[in-house]
Structure 1
Amino acid sequence: MRGATPPARRWRRVLLGALLALPLGLFALDRALPPDLSRLHPGIEILDREDRLLATLPAPGGVWRLRTTVAEVPPHLVAMLLAAEDARFRWHPGVDPLALARAGWQWLRAGRVVSGGSTLTMQVARLLAPRPRTLRSKAIEILRALQLEARLGKEEILGIWLTLAPQGGNLEGIKAGALAWFGRPPGQLDAAEAALLVALARRPEALRPDRHPAAAQAARDALLRQRAPGAGGVTAPERALALASPVPRARHPMPNLAPHLARQVARGAAPGARLATTLDRDLQRAMEALAAQRLAALPDQAAMALLVAETGSREIRALVGGSFGVEARAGMLDLTQAVRSPGSAQKPFLYAMAFQAGLARPETLLADLPLRFGDYAPENFARDFLGRVTAAEALRQSLNLPAVALLSELGALRYAAALKAAGSPPRLAQGAEPSLPLALGGAGTTLRELVALYALLGDAGRAAPLVAQPGPVAARAVVLRARPAAEVAGILVNPFPGGGPSGVAWKTGTSWGGRDAWALGLDARHVAGVWVGRPDGTPLPGLTGRAATLPVLAAVFARLPAAPRPALRVRPAARPFAQPADRLRLLFPMPGAELADAAGPVTLRAAGGRRPLLFLVDGAPLPHQRARREAAWIPPGPGFYRVTVLDADGIAAAAELRVR
């Protein structure tokens, strides 16, 4: 019949149509049945300011699975993995026909599976969606491997294997295995350690080194021996050394520094997130060790919180929120955010407000005498009175009557508003109004807020919140002028009673009934705070800030990096602690100076800085002509004294003097 299509031509058209439809069909099938990556949900990593690992949080289900990339493991581990598992990984499309043919031939000859013929990509398909080991499962793995190769690059596929490879128990991935079995990140693994982790992935339960150390070592050594020197990225001397090394017999705990802060910053984060913080890993570890050591000497019911920040940036460098864990004294509660009574720890801010308002100066005489303010009759902690004292001495000795008198003149509402502006709003009982007990800690605050309040004294009176994660610098609110802030800081620069670093301004506080003990301090670079008490607020008889927390604060500052300059300095300029062109300095006494006897006046001399100058000895101001750069002082007797000089910009210089 004319017009009929010859059979050969018709079949060619059908074949051409099929060939054209096949890619479209495969594309549609790939989109309809994409690889299931739901198991690729790693845990969260918390990093310090230098991207060093601080803490890890497990993946859902309590599995320690941490995202691992090729760049994070040593080259010899990747080379060893490819040499042992898939030598042609870089060249095949996900399936290695030669390996499959070899595996099939060995199966036919032996009647059992001798080698699986699986490529690393097929292993990744099995790790993503585990199935029974059947021929049907193998076929699915082949198709999925082709699909993964079409969608992902070789480095991404390797990264999935490195993240999901079983490492025994609830460990998955090379990073989790390296941390658990060797206590360090995967980039630091040597040849023996890398070989053990590669071998573990084959039979993770049978080769667990904590349960089957002999089997684990045999598998590791076999992996090292079956490769010629140089294969797998391991030289002959390295292999000999690796074969002689033992395998680990126990797991290391996963990194868990700053657990309270880690959980705080991880809240709401996506699986696999790597979250940066402002903490310093080495300092955090030192502060946790210090807290644990000092807490052991306290009553069983006591807990401790500790915080260190940089004054200028307000970045937290170390935070100990309390003991961690269900059985710990404070459990999972972050006690740096617990609202407690500050006792006398807020008095420096009150005095700075009074100095700014013109109600007093450091040398102003105040009355430490029994006084009633309506129905309110405060007493000193020691239940005694000193009579007339300077404001500087009243603050240094933490006298209650002068503080309440200053607040009475300043106004409780005004003081409360200033505290709020400084980021430390007083928490009062419902319906209560600010009143005179505010001077003695009659409202709640937190350790974080108190540390930020002390940072204000070292930052020219500018307030800003503490931050735990890097980001834009928070705006500074000017709450105090630079001079009153610096005057208060200078008054508080005193030697630690039990010894410690010099040049630290510090203050303690004890709340009513011994419920809370505080010690806060700052130097030219850092600000720190320590709290001790019971988490439930029950009193601890005999608890005081001076006995329980001040020695800890001294130990904190002894462990901090050295400040840029020994003297506390505060400037009203944008750069905190900026060095003036002609810096303020003491000409006499020089640090460590000694006087043979205490007879007659001694002339204290300063140079540099901007006049007028103020001289203080042990926090008490000396009468002198403030336009001059010297002052006369008569030592009251033998002993150690601290001489401080303040200039008009609030810069301080200090030195210790001994009179024999």
Structure 2
Amino acid sequence: MNRLVILALALWLAAAGRDQFDSWIDNTVPPPLEIAQSVEVRDMHGDLLRAYTVADGRWRMQTALDEVDPAYIAMLLRYEDKRFYDHAGVDPVALMRGVGQALWHGRIVSGGSTLTMQVARLLEDGSTGTWGGKLRQIRLALALERQLDKSDILTLYLNRAPFGGNIEGVRAASLAWFGKPPIRLTPAQSALLVAIPQSPERRRPDRDAQAATAARDRVLARMLGAGLVDAETYAGATIRAVPDTRYAVPALAPHLADRVIAQNPDTVQHALTLDRTVQRALENLASDAVAGRSDRVQVAILALDHTSGEIVASVGSAAYRADGRAGFIDLTQAMRSPGSTLKPLVYGIGFDQGLIHPETLIADRPTDFGGYAPQNFDGLYRGELRVRTALQHSLNIPVVSVLEAMGPQHLIAGLRRAGAAPEVPGGRAGLAVALGGVGVTLEDLARSYAAIANGGLAVDVRWQSEPSGAFTPHRVLGDVAAWQIADILLEVPRPVGVQGTGIAYKTGTSYGHRDAWAIGFDGRHVVAVWMGRADGTPVPGAFGGDLAAPVMFAAFDRIKPQIDPIAAPPAATLLLPTAQLPQALQRFRPRGVSAEQGPRIAFPPDGAALEVDRLTAKVRDGQAPFTWLANGTPVLTSHAREVDLGVLGAGYSALTVIDAAGDTARVQVLLE
């Protein structure tokens, strides 16, 4: 009977002790598991573009378990804690061994720490050299095992382990010591990263390569004995030299990275549309473009995929530093005068409105536009020539004539439909906007040319990896007009020594040689280049064609090996020589014809919004027959004054009627 009482009492004490022990563990208050991580900016493939240290100057980059080479994980567990998945935070076998060694040596030698105990020490930044410190780690390790699963604990180690200096976590270590992410580690590299955290300062390969090598080789030897590496791998890994210097953390696209972080300050990892390979190539190109110049000339380059809207490279300056070129300024966002780069959009809108055709004859002669008398750059005049030629040679008088006929507000509206945000001096656009009398950014111009390259439809130009969903693809130009502009720009004369076949492009030089521009596109990409001084002062002798255009063509060469062809003309394109065009399109005639002389569109009225399937139009005055055009495309010719123009499609349409005398009338309507 006494034996039963004693047994019962012993069991009760054991149960009470167990409950007390469980309560002791469950009442453990762990330190915060979250810790500041380095902000990272990554490209479309997940590769690092730029990273920032945390507040205390450490590199601590967030790492997920699936972002690390499984072979490294296997080595780590085998070397540090081979029963990791079997214990509850403390390995009794290893702990007893550690206690025995401590009693024998009179001090803690190995400690028998599990990975969970190491995580506990890292979380509390505690000591491993005292019994109190060890007990605290044991308690916290047991608590962590009850609160987290094994993968969470392992992830904590991957993010907290010290690797020497200001490097914490395996991702930062892999980038610092090998210049690559940890998913691509070799056996030799994995072994070194397993070894360093045991004594991070003494085993830093840049401080003591011999100690680092010896520690790495001990890890490899144990892996050989455990069968995790074979003899051949072991032999090859042990002859590899450890790195003797740290790799610089990538600092690509610094201007855009700063902008992204300013807009999203609470995000740790930013996924961008940039391509790291292209970004690096264009940053090197920008540096080469200003090398050897002592005139403080700066450069900015923007490249985007107009089929998706993704910006693939954004170079804000030749170098991100406080130098005489003001390299910290993001010049893709600087408001500048675009010079002649808006001329294609003026002509494109003129095509849409039925004012002109690429083969229309237009006058290039001295003209006074109500007190505004522009001149061509070279001071010469060519007389009468085709619109195509006027644009290819960037003549000023013809484009101002077209802008006067259609109204400057249509150009500004076109820019805004493309997603640009032009700044108009005084708030009211005048004829000078055709020649650069408006403020735009390099990104604005890239958006505008992306719309032309995209068949006239605005593009959701973005750096975010995912579309916002809020973009409305406004039509900037009709598809015919957009193709006509591209076709003309394909034949713009190239700089000396440049082929550039298949690239449609335009250059521009602002007043006083302050800004030199070149913007081009093929069937997939748009590249925009600005060159000038960051402070906006003149650069004598700087021209878009000489300064910026060669850089733009070189950018295409660095983006891809072959040019993507521009699409074929739409079916409705009027491919005729001048003599075979409708009479009103054979020669440009400015607006201003009186009602007694020319036709008037009686219906629909200008600016009307109509809910109709088929559009009926009426014309008064003028001489039959009447030719009707919708968005610059001939629809029909008839003697009737009331006609059915058919289905034109939803959206804005510019209707033009041309009578037998060549006089015209135009309205713009919204079909819903």
* Normalised-by-shorter TM-score class: 0.7 to 0.9
Q: 1:438 is matched with which residue: 429, 433, 439?
A: 433
Q: Deviations over 1:487-541 (max 9, x none)?
A: 1111111263332331111000111111111100111111111111112212211
Contact 2:25 2:139 in 1 (8 A): no
Q: Which amino acid aligns with 1:397?
A: H
- Select the residue among 181, 201, 207 that pairs with 2:203: 207
Task: State how far apart, in whole Å, the 2-side matches of 1:611 and 1:256 are.
Answer: 47
Secondary structure, aligned partner of 2:516: strand
Question: Equivalent residue for 1:254?
Answer: 249
Which amino acid in structure 2 is aligned with residue 264 of structure 1?
Answer: R
2:301 match: secondary structure? strand
For residue 208 of structure 1, give the secondary structure of its aligned residue in structure 2: coil
State the partner residue of 1:138.
134
The aligned amino acid for 2:430 is S
Whole-angstrom distance in 2 between the partners of 1:456 and 1:195: 53
Deviations 1:87-114 (A, max 9, x none): 2222111112222222222122222332
Count of residues in correspondence between the two structures: 575
Of 364-373 and 322-331, the range deviating more from structure 2:
322-331
Find the counterpart in structure 2 of residue 79 from structure 1.
74
1:584 counterpart residue number: none
Q: How does 1:460-479 map to 2 (within 5 A)?
A: 460-472=455-467, 474-479=471-476
Cα distance in 2 between the residues matched to 1:270 and 1:95: 40
1:283 aligns with 2:278: yes
CA distance 1:8–1:231, shift in 2 (3 Å): closer
How do 1:403-418 residues align onto structure 2 when only pairs under 5 Å count?
403-418=399-414
Superposed displacement of residue 119, structure 1: 1.1
Worse-matched range after superposition: 128-137 or 178-187: 128-137
Deviation at 1:13, TM superposition (A): 12
Q: CA deviation at 1:373?
A: 2.6
In the other structure, the counterpart of 1:642 is none
Percent sequence identity over aligned pairs: 43
Change (3 A) 1:272 1:75: farther
Q: Deviations over 1:142-173 (max 9, x none)?
A: 11111111111112211111111111111111
Q: Contact between 2:158 and 2:170, CA under 8 Å: does it hold in 1?
A: yes
| Distance of aligned partners of 1:623 and 1:364 in 2 relative to their CA distance in 1, 3 Å threshold | closer
Residue equivalent to 1:301: 296
- Check whether the contact 2:25–2:142 (CA below 8 A) recurs between aligned residues: no
Alpha-carbon spacing, 1:324–1:63, altered in 2? closer, same or farther (3 Å) = farther
Moved more, 269-278 or 194-203: 269-278
Of the candidates 226, 229, 232, which is equivalent to residue 231 of structure 1?
226
Equivalent-residue separation in structure 2 for 1:95 and 1:183 (angstroms)? 35
- Is the 2:354–2:633 Cα contact (8 Å) retained in structure 1? no
Whether 1:63 and 2:58 are equivalent positions in the alignment is yes
Q: Residues 625-654 of structure 1, C-alpha deviation per residue, up to 9 Å, x if partnerless?
A: 479xxxxxxxxxxxxxxxxxxx979xxxxx
Is the 1:308–1:526 contact (alpha carbons within 8 Å) kept by the matching residues of 2?
yes
Contact 1:424–1:453 under 8 Å retained in 2: yes
Return the letter of the residue paired with 2:423. Answer: R
What amino acid is aligned across from residue 544 of structure 1 in structure 2?
Answer: F
Q: 1:332-411 counterparts in 2 under 5 A?
A: 332-411=328-407
Matches within 5 A, 1:466-615: 466-472=461-467, 474-494=471-491, 496-497=494-495, 498-561=497-560, 566-569=565-568, 571=570, 612-614=574-576
CA distance in structure 2 between the partners assigned to 1:128 and 1:332 by the alignment: 38
Check conservation: 2:457, 2:475, Cα contact below 8 A. Answer: yes
| Runs of 5+ unmatched residues, structure 2 | 583-631, 635-672
1:208 deviates by 1.6
Label 1:149 to 1:346 Cα distance change in 2 as closer, same or farther (>3 A).
Answer: same
Helix, strand or coil: the match of 1:337?
coil
CA separation of 1:549 and 1:298: change in aligned 2, threshold 3 A: farther
> Separation in 2 of the partners of 1:407 and 1:197?
66
- The DSSP-based 3-state class of the residue aligned with 2:232 is helix
Partners of 1:353 and 1:37 in 2: CA distance: 60
**C-alpha distance in 2, partners of 1:212/1:378?**
72
Deviations 1:170-222 (A, max 9, x none): 11111111111111111211121111111111121222211222222222223
Q: Does the Cα contact within 8 Å between 1:504 and 1:568 map onto a contact in 2? A: no
Q: Deviations over 1:375-417 (max 9, x none)?
A: 3222222222222222111111111122222222222233323
Which stretch of the first structure deviates more once superposed, 77-86 or 465-474? 465-474
| Letter of the structure 2 residue corresponding to residue 281 of structure 1 | R
Change (3 A) 1:562 1:250: closer
Q: Is the 8 A contact 2:509 2:544 kept in 1?
A: yes
Q: Which runs of 5+ in 1 are unaligned?
A: 1-6, 572-608, 615-621, 628-646, 650-660
Tell me how far apart the structure 2 counterparts of residues 59 and 271 of structure 1 sit (CA, whole Å). 13
The secondary structure found in structure 1 opposite 2:520 is strand
Equivalent residues in 2 for 1:414-429 (5 A)? Answer: 414-429=410-425
Query: Is the alpha carbon distance of 1:117 and 1:25 closer, same or farther for their aligned partners in structure 2, counting shifts above 3 Å?
Result: closer
Q: TM-score, normalised by structure 1?
A: 0.81
Residue 273 of structure 2 contacts residue 312 of structure 2 at CA under 8 Å; is this kept in 1? yes
C-alpha displacement of 1:551: 0.5
Structure 1 equivalent of residue 27 of structure 2: 29
Relative distance call for 1:232 and 1:130 in structure 2 (3 A) is: farther
The farther-off stretch of 274-283 and 153-162 is: 274-283
Change (3 A) 1:107 1:23: closer
Write the deviation string for residues 2-43 of structure 1: whole angstroms up to 9, x where unpaired.
xxxxx999989996995797488458624xx2332243x322
Distance in 1 (alpha carbons) for counterparts of 2:294 and 2:348: 36
Partner Cα distance (1:164, 1:324) in 2: 33
Distance verdict in 2 for CA 1:16–1:234, change over 3 Å: closer
Q: Which residue identity lines up with residue 408 of structure 1 in the other structure? A: E
Aligned partners of 2:42 and 2:49 also within 8 Å: yes
